[in-house]
Structure 1
Amino acid sequence: MTATRNIPVKKKIKDSLFTRINKWLHLWLGLASGIIVLIVCLTGCIWVFNEEITGLMEPETKVERQDKPVLTPAQLTAIAAKFYPDKVPAYANYQQGRTINLNLKTVGEKGRRGGGTQLKINPYTGEVVSTVVHKKGETDFFRFILNGHRFLWMPYEIGRPIVNYGTMVFVVLLITGLIWWYPKKWNKSTRDKSFKIKWGASFKRVNLDLHNVLGFYSLLFLLAIALTGMVYGIKWYSEGLYWVTSGGETLAEYKRLESDSLQANKYYTPVQAMDLAWNKVIAKHPKSAGFYYNFPDTAEAKAAINITVYPSPGQFYNSEGYTFDQHTLQELKREDVYSISYAEAGFGGKLRKMNYDIHVGSILGFPGKVLAFLAALIGASLPITGFLIWYGRKFKKKGKKSASDQSAATKNNKVPKVTKPQLEEII
């Protein structure tokens, strides 16, 4: 009679305390912030191409660049008065290859967006290509998308902190996810699992690969997007980041400069002041590819003239801003990080000026926008694939083994047969 030989069964190695905490954080923080991450990432990847989409939807606003000056503020004011005598210009913005967007408001109305009327004007001929009139409280599609991205369409005071700290949680999820993804041993099997999606496997396996593999490939891009996004909403983070990157400098607070109201109506009319200030700036930047400026509010004697020029099309990091007293045309000097030119700024200042371009990917031009779009799209998928992984493991049906099968396997000292779906799950 042959003696029965007991086959030793390998015990599953228990995870370390660090690993268990890391997995717990990744799981529960992911479940708690999933909806926030999904909305912020989806609206973000749409917003990345807002200018390109708007251009496709409004082909009439495309204007071929000409080697001659664009319209001056005084000329734009005259055009506005011709079509809307009851309104005055509030602000104008322009990017090379497009029309000038001239936004109007009712006389005496406070706020730069009053009136809800926008004229799109050919920058060389003065032709009004189109007029957009928004009703009170009405927003366009991309403003709706931006509101969701910034505060989830909730009241600003409630939604903004949720988005800001939800983004911070997302950074923690990216780091804990990387730790969880990192294989204990590197071999062909773990390399395949870590860097390749096994498309021919079961749905559960493909879903797991989409979460792990795509999450790894998009990690650095998502970190860059998240870390730059928090600059706009978390004050202590913004100041701390600048302090670290500038070598201990304190981030100067942005202050709106004011004109000397005692000098009102002594030197220039508002239209004259606006044109003279514009000529000063454009003389320094004759090849500017875009601009933004506000018109001095005649109802507010302390209002100043602010002009910003953009040397590179579609990029904002190397912009330069100027502020003038609307009565004396004296240049008013700001002390914040954005008042210094990109070339003169230190590392911390350069990084801060590049923040928006990094956030939307335009720092690398159009290819960078594509990368930001794909990264945000993957970021939106991570809460979905992660939830499916958790749901499948938490509520999956456990196969029941009959007592007779277990007895037969024990008597014959045989290892239970592993089916192909089970093998795929293990691998």
Structure 2
Amino acid sequence: MNDVRRPIKAALLQVHSLAGLALALLWAVVGITGATMAFEDEIEASLNSHVMRVDASATRRLTPDELIARLQSAGDFGRPSAVTMASDPSAATRIRFARSEGGARPSSVYVDPYDGHLLGSPRGEDFFAAVRKLHRWLLLPGDGNGIGRKITGSAAVCLIVMLITGPVLRWPYRARSVKMWLKPNLGLRGRGLHRSLHAVIGTWVLPVYLVMTLTGLWYSFEWYKAGANWLLARPQAADAAMQPKPPRGAAAAAGKGEAKIEAKAEAKPLAFDRVWTTFLQQENNDYGRVLLTLPAGAGTAVRVRSWPRDSSLESVRDEFRIDAVTGRVISSDRYADKTFGERVLAGVLDIHRGAILGWPGKLAFMLAAAMMPLFAVTGLLLYLSRRRHRRLARQPMGHLVPGE
């Protein structure tokens, strides 16, 4: 039986080693950047408490368009593209801006929701934006539409191969021994220590890496997203998820009236207030935080995402598309109406970063991601020591030539 296993393990070792050598640096970059973003929200909140909080007041808070008008009277900040508002009376309003003609996006700003005066731009925003682009697209041209997205996705597929071959290669003689699987032998030195750290810590983080990889593929390949939607979502929900812009059937329902609306939109920039009024009616003024985003291209459908007061998860939200000109609700997607599978799909990002388990989960996923360079280093050392061992083992053969 051992004779049968030996060539299989030798082949798996070659696959494991070559894939690891080729992609170790890429995986290390993705791991470090992912760990850096694990507590992004908490870090930004700590750095920017002076601009994110205001003194609560009984005064009426301004509407989105009123805030934008007062901000623009203070200077030229660019064309507003999104507004984030909160029900908390001490929370500032955040305004984001569209990209300039050169492709650069101005920094967002916080404004006082009561009088609209500028509080300042958040610290760390540009840093985390760069880290996110490096994590997802390796800073390559095209961002989500470029080659970087496919490279990181292909690397994720290869990492799944590593996660499968790793336990097979280290399968111990005492397979039922928990100590053998989970306790590194720190008394070893050199190659033995490297192998123990590589194998045992790899066993610790394997479930986390598997979750990270399977959820990360969601952002890399449309076929993967389509398959997940087909498997977990109802047919109508899957169709809506794969074709969010425009909403399914919206163009046919609107008919010629839609063309008139677009003509009006071209004559006058889209505004938020009509959308804001419709949203408050939809949610009965019961929300914790809401993000209103203007369409990037042609059209009048404003995307509205609403999070409840008692949740810190990105996935627990209601989503609407509301016409900015008429105030008509084009589509409504409420979290309470989702099936279990659809909630899993909505929570891909929270699962990917461990937030679904609260801050302990985020900490565990951060530490696991930060360990990725360890496998790059120990894997390289093991490969070099293995080559050196083979070379030394072959040297005495030269002295067995007859006559020497």
- TM-score by length of structure 1 reads 0.75
- How much identity, in percent, do the aligned residues show? 23
Asked if the contact 1:261–1:302 (Cα under 8 Å) also holds between the matched residues in 2, the reply is: no
Which of 329, 336, 347 is matched with 1:354 structurally?
347
Supply the AA of the counterpart residue of 1:152: L
Asked if the contact 1:260–1:325 (Cα under 8 Å) also holds between the matched residues in 2, the reply is: no
Supply the AA of the counterpart residue of 1:306: R
- Against the structure 1 CA distance between its residues 85 and 23, is the aligned structure 2 distance closer, same or farther, given a 3 Å change threshold? closer
State the match for 1:213 in structure 2.
200
Asked if the contact 1:55–1:61 (Cα under 8 Å) also holds between the matched residues in 2, the reply is: no
State the match for 1:256 in structure 2.
245
State the match for 1:315 in structure 2.
313
Within 5 Å, which residues of 2 pair with 1:108-147? 116-123=106-113, 126-131=116-121, 140-147=126-133
The CA deviation at 1:191 is 4.4
Asked if the contact 1:239–1:250 (Cα under 8 Å) also holds between the matched residues in 2, the reply is: no
State the match for 1:194 in structure 2.
181
Asked if the contact 2:51–2:121 (Cα under 8 Å) also holds between the matched residues in 1, the reply is: no
Q: 2:360 is paired with a residue of what secondary structure?
A: helix
In the TM superposition, what whole-angstrom CA distance separates every residue of 1:175-212 from its partner, at most 9, and x where no partner exists? 1112223324347xx64342112223213333222211
Paired with 2:6 and 2:161, the residues of 1 have a C-alpha distance of 19
State the match for 2:384 in structure 1.
391
> Structure 1 stretch 303-312 or stretch 281-290: which is displaced more?
281-290
The CA deviation at 1:43 is 0.8
Q: 2:238 is paired with a residue of what secondary structure?
A: coil
State the match for 2:227 in structure 1.
240
Counting matched residue pairs gives 374
Asked if the contact 2:163–2:210 (Cα under 8 Å) also holds between the matched residues in 1, the reply is: yes
State the match for 2:337 in structure 1.
344
Paired with 2:148 and 2:264, the residues of 1 have a C-alpha distance of 44
Supply the AA of the counterpart residue of 1:215: G
Asked if the contact 2:172–2:180 (Cα under 8 Å) also holds between the matched residues in 1, the reply is: no
State the match for 2:50 in structure 1.
60
Paired with 2:9 and 2:394, the residues of 1 have a C-alpha distance of 30
Paired with 1:72 and 1:23, the residues of 2 have a C-alpha distance of 62
Supply the AA of the counterpart residue of 2:32: L
Q: Which has the higher helix share?
A: 2
1:51 aligns with 2:41: yes
Q: 2:224 is paired with a residue of what secondary structure?
A: helix
1:373 aligns with 2:366: yes
Asked if the contact 1:81–1:88 (Cα under 8 Å) also holds between the matched residues in 2, the reply is: no
Paired with 2:139 and 2:285, the residues of 1 have a C-alpha distance of 41
Supply the AA of the counterpart residue of 2:320: Y
State the match for 2:399 in structure 1.
none
Asked if the contact 2:44–2:123 (Cα under 8 Å) also holds between the matched residues in 1, the reply is: no
Asked if the contact 1:73–1:274 (Cα under 8 Å) also holds between the matched residues in 2, the reply is: yes
State the match for 1:74 in structure 2.
65
CA RMSD of aligned residues (A): 3.7
Structure 1: any 5+ residue segments left out of the alignment? 1-11, 334-338, 403-427
Supply the AA of the counterpart residue of 1:181: R
Query: Which structure has the larger Rg over C-alpha atoms?
Result: 1
Asked if the contact 1:270–1:326 (Cα under 8 Å) also holds between the matched residues in 2, the reply is: no
Asked if the contact 1:270–1:296 (Cα under 8 Å) also holds between the matched residues in 2, the reply is: no
Paired with 1:219 and 1:175, the residues of 2 have a C-alpha distance of 9
Q: 1:140 is paired with a residue of what secondary structure?
A: helix
Asked if the contact 2:77–2:106 (Cα under 8 Å) also holds between the matched residues in 1, the reply is: no
1:39 aligns with 2:7: no
Asked if the contact 1:80–1:87 (Cα under 8 Å) also holds between the matched residues in 2, the reply is: no
The CA deviation at 1:38 is 1.0
Q: 1:343 is paired with a residue of what secondary structure?
A: helix
- TM-score by length of structure 2 reads 0.79
